[in-house]
Amino acid sequence: MWSADEVAGLCYTHYSTKLPKQGKPNPNREWTLLAAVVKVESAPEREACLNVGNLQVTKEVVAMGTGTKCIGHTRMRKTGDILNDSHAEVIAKRSFQRYLIHQLWLAASHQQGSIFSPGTKIGKWKLKPHITFIFFCSHTPCGDASIIPMTKPKDQPCEVVGRKNPTSHSADCSDNYDPVGPENKRKTEETASDHVTKKIKTVIGDSAFEVTERIAVQYVPGNQQNVQDTDTSRSEFITDGQREILTCAKETGLIGATVMDVYRTGAKCVLGERDDARRPGIEYHHVGLLRVKPGRGDRTCSMSCSDKLARWNVLGCQGALLMHFLQHPVYLSAIVVGKCPYSQEVMQRAVIERCQHISFLPDGFHVQEVKMLQSNLQFKHSRHAIQTAHANGKAKLVPCGAAISWSAVPEQPLDVTSNGFKQGTTKKGIGSRQTRSRICKVELFHVFQRLMASISQENLPESLREKKLETYWEYKEAAANYQEAWKVLRNQALGAWVKNTKDYLQFT
């Protein structure tokens, strides 16, 4: 099998050895985030039977991304030639789609080494059964997954989040809780002071809330039965925010712990969702809501990485275009997070539980029970690592403005961008093909079209055979099963999702 530390170490080594210095942060004053997709290939079934007890797996990074930025809505373009979202998780996912297109080309041209085998319908392919994919990110995704309680358990020498202390971090172990040091996700994320002023204590059963002017401190007693017997709906003395935290404590097992505050996310609630309370301490955020990434005075249309992971966990990582060629979506088997503030339960809520209730998805689509694990290994260019290295320095630390994309493809695997275009692009150059990222919408669309052109008409999938499709939007809409699944997901779970209007998708 594999462990969380093995996956993190593999990704960190790949970052250090395969990615160029260009696009990486200046370690004296900059930090960044890292994400990657790792292919795990076990021995085919026949070989596994011959080597029972000695099952070997190979692990390979097939896509990687770095980045912390996204553009505001006023800078979006209708030509599909700009990267709207350059957070590491999104860069890695788009790099993974580039890898998948290449693998489909290998399969369709009958070359060796493809991860796909023929499906049951003409023009359709399916992932080989002994291949799975792990998503790695050096920090918890922005948005809902980053709203983590800050706890101080009784008689505990260091801060932990969660109810268990793991003895193992292997892929088949579900208890993945680590004591970790404080680190914030984006520059806009912050933590509140733990200085306590005027306290007003409200007792609910055997649980007490101490609400202060600057922070709210909640103590959840060590007797678990007392907390479980508490009916949070009956008290007229607690606010909605306090009720959410108490409910969260009951569900996540924060028993015998003082919830001092929550780690904050800079991601903003979308229109149509209720807004954050922004009260002191634990009541600052509401949880489980859809959010958009923050912009500097220019609101973005980019959903938080937590929301995007929740979507990928139902629709797959391949996107609408590639569903034309795939019999089933390409799901992640596990998500591994590097050393940072982390809660197993919060990750479960953000990625799986918000969509777990949905029903009537088209054949092949489901809510994936993706495994969640955390590594003890810290990314060397994380904000916390850079802060620690320069604890006595006076220089202001800032997020790196560049993003790096890497895909396991034979031609031009690397891409370094800034502000949505290739690094070094001038205003005069915007609009030329030379300034486009290889993973922007229009470039991935053109690679998809070249894949189509390489396949004879009779071997194309039915959804593309003898169809007069021209624009990016038309090709996406023609992936009927994907669009039906997306409609079900929006109607039942992600109704306030911010969608780009049709005119932003009409390029060719």
Residues with a catalytic annotation lie at 89
Residue with tokens 């935290």: 245
CA-derived radius of gyration, the chain: 23
Residue among 363, 319, 322, 367 at smallest CA distance from 125: 322
What is the SS3 assignment for 300-333?
CCCECHHHHHHHHHHHCCCHHHHHCCECCCCCCC
Separation between Cα atoms, residue 324 and residue 464, nearest integer Å = 7
* Residues constituting the chain: 508
Separation between Cα atoms, residue 123 and residue 119, nearest integer Å = 8
Burial of 31 from C-beta contacts in 10 A (0-12 / 13-18 / 19+): buried
Give, for 102, the enclosing helix (H) or strand (E).
Answer: helix 88-108
Tell me, what DSSP letter sits at residue 500? P
Separation between Cα atoms, residue 80 and residue 444, nearest integer Å = 10
What is the SS3 assignment for 325-358?
CECCCCCCCEEEECCCCCCHHHHHHHHCHHHCCC
With b for 16 or more beta-carbon neighbours within 10 A and e for fewer, the 307-319 pattern comes to bbbbbbbbbbbbb
Separation between Cα atoms, residue 294 and residue 306, nearest integer Å = 14
Tell me, what DSSP letter sits at residue 188? T
If one counts every other C-beta atom within 10 angstroms of the C-beta of residue 152, the result is 16
Separation between Cα atoms, residue 226 and residue 357, nearest integer Å = 29
Separation between Cα atoms, residue 383 and residue 225, nearest integer Å = 40
Burial of 277 from C-beta contacts in 10 A (0-12 / 13-18 / 19+): middle
- How far, rounded to the nearest angstrom, does the alpha carbon of residue 425 sit from its chain's CA centroid? 28
Task: Report the largest interatomic distance among the alpha carbons of the chain, rounded to a whole angstrom.
Answer: 75
If one counts every other C-beta atom within 10 angstroms of the C-beta of residue 154, the result is 11
Burial of 402 from C-beta contacts in 10 A (0-12 / 13-18 / 19+): buried
The two beta strands, 216-220 and 257-262, are: antiparallel
